[in-house]
Amino acid sequence: SSEGRQPDSDAFVKVFISHQRQIYAFIGSLLPQQAELDDVYQQTCLLLWQKRDQYDPDRPFLPWAYGFARNEVFGFLRRQGRDASRLSPDLLAQIAEVRAVEDEQAAARRAALEACLQKLSPAQQELLKARYASSTSLKELAGSLATTAAALTMRLQRIRQALLQCIEATVTGVMP
């Protein structure tokens, strides 16, 4: 039992759902066979639900969940009579730690992208939507905007470059 606030079931479900892909991918990196992966993932989900009252919502969810997933992988390999020694506990702990950091960095970059997209002009936002959220080809889009494909490519490149600089500045905290 943690010293922090106890999560309610709805809050736990929300945090779990927002991280379920990462948990699945983590287990998949250790168990490449689909049937094994699905079995261990299902067991891990069940265990996480059973242990939800032990989760401290003031701490990052993924390292906590990865610990259970790692133990489920070891248990599965032992039950199958397979050699779990090829996956040392220290190595698995390092993999889980790296994975959690990478997942946090990806989340920070996604949040920065959302913030940076809002800083674009409405015309730039519409252009990005027209190019990447529709099935319109570059040539068709250029025609509808009365410009050339080359000119449109250059405009899109400038927008992408501005987004990249904004994301990097946001994530690192260093403004250009």
Q: Where are the domains of the chain?
A: 1-106, 120-176
pLDDT for 77 beyond 90: no
Torsion over CA of 54, 80, 89 and 102, rounded to 10 degrees? -70
The helix (run of H) or strand (run of E) holding residue 75 is helix 61-79
At 121, give phi and psi (nearest 5°): -70, 155
- How many C-beta neighbours within 10 Å does residue 123 have? 10
Of residues 96, 22, 90, the one with CA closest to residue 63: 96
Domain 1-106 classification at class level: mainly alpha
In this prediction, residue 95 carries a pLDDT of 75
Tell me what pLDDT residue 171 has: 87
CATH of domain 120-176: 1.10.10
Using CA atoms, how far apart are residues 16 and 21, in angstroms rounded to an integer? 9
Higher-confidence residue: 141 or 94?
141
Of these ranges, 80-89, 96-105, 126-135, 166-175, the one predicted with the greatest mean pLDDT is 126-135
Is the model's pLDDT at 159 over the cut of 60? yes
The whole-chain average pLDDT of the chain stands at: 86
9-68 pLDDT, tens digit each? 888 999 999 899 989 998 998 887 888 999 999 999 999 999 999 998 888 888 899 989
The C-alpha atoms of residue 47 and residue 41 are separated, in whole angstroms, by 10
Residue with tokens 């490449």: 32
Contact 98, 56 (CB under 8 A): no
Q: Please tell me the least confidently modeled range out of 23-27, 77-81, 127-131.
A: 77-81
Q: Kindly report whether the global pTM for this prediction surpasses the value 0.85.
A: no
